[in-house]
Structure 1
């Protein structure tokens, strides 16, 4: 069945109605919307990373405070999805997207004007809460329009678009920080969100076929969450995504300090270095689509687990061996990033797959648990950073092994 014709005649009536609404949008527009809605996350997390040491120095803040601009934002991002998900099941994806993107634009602009680290942390937290609407709705609308296996292929295309955006973030952030100062790296996400808001306002059509008028009733919401949390498929794919993101978050949170502060790279050079990681992630998303067609979801995830374990273990071994050059460490990061490109497409589609009538709530819970892992990792890094490579290397090593264990164990046993 062609991917620009998402509805399947065998699906339930609400799904056919959702697909009919989605047909107003071309498949290209759906992928573009997914790329922007998912891409707002790396824009928020990556673009300012080259400037993070300068921000920390200007405000005279500690490294733990600096980490809060990332980990605090991600915790708010995760928590907010628990609200946005049921709201979108009740009122639809489009109004939630409009509200979230508008709030994000305002918060991003305010963060660029912050006069203290405390104010910056607060506005970044507001940014994260608003960003939850965008990413949650992106995952939910895929389930609105597509069956789970086809959804994994479609979301992998959106993640490829995310990868292209992420490729531009770090070198652009390095250039902006060098040329115009760190505040511009915090203002740029506001412009990105404004562009996404314009696309949603002008071109996006509602994908939820039948809103649930009782989605926000406490008894219904608690029953829905209980059913989702009791489903082994949800846990298998959510833990897959969360463990893989835990490793990526470790790299994002620590790489600027390791490569710029510890190893002496320029901000722009660091940006180019990280482009190579994103290119590996891009390869992983494309390779994922190839694997899904050739060998299916389980085998694709099994192969991805191999990349995750190999990359994490190699980085740990290189650190123990005393390798202290950026390009000497990057082969391990590339391997991990390829695995991440495979796991995110399969994990995000798989977690919401069993819940066509509650895709928003399932997407929200999955996203919350993923960000809870990131917040916990950020808190741990803030306490254990010692001016060496080892916190980053050991963190990626740990999450690489955990990702592989989930891929080789839990995912293989669940019903797809």
Structure 2
């Protein structure tokens, strides 16, 4: 495809494309959560199927972001979705936990292409302020997918076993692949022929990583997702194993959390035109603070019940719905010509945080599976998110300083 083929679709197509490309992430994790206790593996092995996916997801973005800057979004996106589809089918047929971990890692690589290209396409099509509003609309769609996924996963696990959840992720990927192939044009106006050269790549990385706006929004987004991932990775063992919730009921509870996330994205859409990105993030972090403090306070007081975890989580997830559109858009906003690289590093920080959280929970819950362990981890991640949201994110954004002779 030549540069003349670049075009912008209608807002409806753009929102639906972003919802599918970003929504494949909660489908990959949330739909699979009710199946974790059914894998017939120790907790560490079951957690590794998530951690390996997130590690490949993070590292893959560092490669696929520059590839998307060099060759365009569509080739990388179509190839990544095809890889994801094949890996999901192979994972469903895995003969043991080691094979499942390997195929889930390849799913993570395909997922990386979907998410990094989705965020880069948003920057290709929209300026940051409008992009944040479009992102909020897309994340509303993501929230609907996240709402439905755990309940569907729980029902599939009950009826057909854990392998059916992986077949469901394959079906979603096939639908997304078809829509992108038929309806979404190339978004990159001008390819960067130097994007994969080591010296140029290192220079681009340095430019992105040095920028205070990227560091602020990228870290806020990563920590915010780490708070969510704490709940996703640890809650099935606590709710099902300790609080004796059925798998299907657990799926409905996680789905209710995702519905609250949708409400958060709707609130974000109302706040952004009035207050801008930074001030909206500040307001969203207030809900994150309330949720983190209340979940830890109840656990420290010895209150161990479903509602003592679920109600604070609703506060956390509502704040997350406000923070994520701001963070994901703010992190790539200063880099219209390096959107792939900026998106890749933003995604890598998210995945690295999730991997570290998963490793910690695997160790901590295997040592002592308790409500308190999950609650204190949620609180710690929430407080870190609030700290960044109320300090670095609120600082005025500096102008981007590009090296001489290089586009910004």
Instruction: Quote how far apart the aligned CAs of 1:244 are.
Output: 0.5
Q: Offset of 1:83 from its aligned partner?
A: 0.5
Aligned-pair CA distance for 1:391: 2.0
Task: Give the 3-state SS of the residue equivalent to 2:195 in structure 1.
Answer: coil
Deviation of 1:201 after TM superposition, in Å, equals 1.1
Corresponding residue for 2:406? Answer: none
Per the alignment, residue 7 of structure 2 pairs with 22
Deviation at 1:328, TM superposition (A): 3.1
The within-5 A match list for 1:113-262 is 113-262=93-242
Could you say which residue in structure 2 is the equivalent of 1:370?
350
Q: Give the drift of 1:142.
A: 0.5
- Residue aligning to 2:38: 54
Counterpart of 2:386 in structure 1 is 404
Q: Give distance in 2, aligned partners of 1:408 and 1:346.
A: 13
Describe the superposition over 1:143-170 as per-residue Cα deviations: whole angstroms up to 9, x where unpaired.
Answer: 0011111111111111110000011100
Q: SS at 1:357's partner residue?
A: coil
Tell me if the contact between 1:232 and 1:414 (Cα under 8 Å) persists in the aligned partners.
no
- Deviation by residue 1:24-58 (Cα, 9 ceiling, x = unmatched): x2211111100100010001111111111011xx2
Cα deviation, residue 266, structure 1: 1.0
Q: Which runs of 5+ in 2 are unaligned?
A: 399-408
2:320 matched residue in structure 1: 340
Does the aligned pair in 2 maintain the 1:323–1:329 contact within 8 Å? no
- Map of 1:12 onto structure 2: none
TM-score for the superposition, normalised by structure 1: 0.93
Partner of 1:272: 252
Gaps of 5+ in 1: 1-16
1:3 matched to which residue of 2? none
The 8 Å contact of residues 278 and 326 in structure 2, kept in 1 or not, is answered as no
Structure 2 CA distance for aligned equivalents of residues 162 and 265 of structure 1? 26
Report the secondary structure of 2:168's partner residue: helix
Shift of the alpha carbon at 1:342?
1.0
Residue in structure 2 matching 1:395, options 368, 372, 377: 377
Pair 1:300-2:280 in alignment:
yes
CA distance in 1 between partners of 2:323 and 2:162 (Å): 33
Q: Distance in 2 between matches of 1:118 and 1:312?
A: 35
Q: Is the CA contact (8 Å cut-off) linking 1:236 and 1:414 kept in structure 2?
A: no
| Contact persistence 2:295–2:308 (CA under 8 A) | no
1:343 positional shift: 1.1
How far, CA to CA, are the matches of 1:329 and 1:203 in structure 2?
42
> For residues 238 and 395 of structure 1, what CA distance do their matches in structure 2 show?
20
Deviations along 1:288-340, one digit per CA (max 9) or x if unpaired, are 11110111112111111111111011111111122222123211000000111
Q: Deviations over 1:341-389 (max 9, x none)?
A: 1111000000000000000000001100111111111111111111211
Q: State whether structure 2 residue 23 is matched by structure 1 residue 43.
A: no
Partners of 1:369 and 1:361 lie apart in 2 by 12
The total of aligned residue pairs comes to 394
**For 1:110, which of 72, 90, 98 is the aligned residue?**
90
